[in-house]
Amino acid sequence: MARVMISVLATVLVAFASVAQAGDDSGIYIGGSVGYASVDYSKNDGDINFDDDDTAYKVFVGYNFGIIPLIDLGVEGSYVDFGSQDGRLAGTNGNTIEVTGWDAFGVAGLTFGPFGIFAKAGMIAWNADLDTRSFGNSTDSGNDPAYGIGAKFQIASFAIRAEYEYFDLDNVDLDFISVGAAYTF
């Protein structure tokens, strides 16, 4: 009976130790994601209306501090290309907007073995190029808040991530849903 109890206790301790360390690999990580971005902007009772989505991608780098087991705290920055969205402007269709940006986030998450969830908040420095049929081309830029949530599956230093990010660019709502991978050094 004592052997059985010792075996059970040892198994539980080994399982707990692997859960406490799996997925919370600290250090620098790099990665990329692909998905789709959706722009939603309407003004003047639909005279100006961009409500479209397109394929988008990002490349990112971050640092996970790994201070507390089961809790991930870190910073992350990325370059994001939101693709090209079509819209209606001054009664004409065929107008496009292309948005790119550099963002920086603070990241906090919980790790449950190889699975983890995370949330992030930060800022994006964005640049928008508007190509219109009636008024020619114009550009705009700014710095605005950005938020995100996600989940990951990590084995050793390799992680697969799924994310939803929301960017509040002036009066434009920009959503980005993506799937990607990351590698921690």
The pLDDT of residue 56 is above 70: yes
Residue 144 has pLDDT above 90, yes or no: yes
Give me the mean pLDDT over the 74-81 stretch. Answer: 97
Residue 75 has pLDDT above 90, yes or no: yes
Dist CA 103 CA 120 (whole Å): 11
Separation CA 76–CA 122 (nearest Å):
9
pLDDT at 2: 55
Q: What is the pLDDT of residue 119?
A: 98
Over the stretch 85-110, which tens digit does the pLDDT of each residue have?
Answer: 887 676 677 788 899 999 999 999 99
* Rounded average pLDDT over 132-159: 89
Side-chain-side CA neighbours of 36 within 13 Å: the count stands at 6
Task: Give whole-number Cα distances, 149 to 58, 93, 108, 111, 138, in Å.
Answer: 15, 34, 10, 14, 32
Measured in whole angstroms, the distance separating CA 181 from the mean position of its chain's CA atoms is 11
When pLDDT is averaged across residues 10-20 and rounded to a whole number, the result is 46
The pLDDT of residue 28 is 96
Least confident of 111-120, 132-141, 160-169: 132-141
Residue 22 has pLDDT above 60, yes or no: no
User: Using CA atoms, how far apart are residues 185 and 182, in angstroms rounded to an integer?
Assistant: 10
CATH 2.40.160.20 fits 2-184, yes or no: yes
Instruction: Give how far the C-alpha of residue 122 lies from the chain's centroid of Cα atoms, to the nearest Å.
Output: 11
pLDDT of residue 40: 82
Alpha carbon distances (Å) from 70 to 106, 107, 113, 139: 17, 14, 8, 44
- Residue 105 bridge partners (DSSP): 76, 122
Q: For residues 28 and 18, which has the higher predicted lDDT (pLDDT)?
A: 28
29-50 mean pLDDT: 82
**Token pair for 89:** 């402007």
Q: Which two tokens stand for residue 55?
A: 């394929």
Per-residue DSSP letter, 68: B
Highest mean pLDDT among 69-73, 89-93, 177-181: 177-181
Strand partners, 11: none
Q: Where are the domains of the chain?
A: 2-184
Question: What's the rounded mean pLDDT across residues 59-75?
Answer: 92
pLDDT of 15 over the 60 cut = no
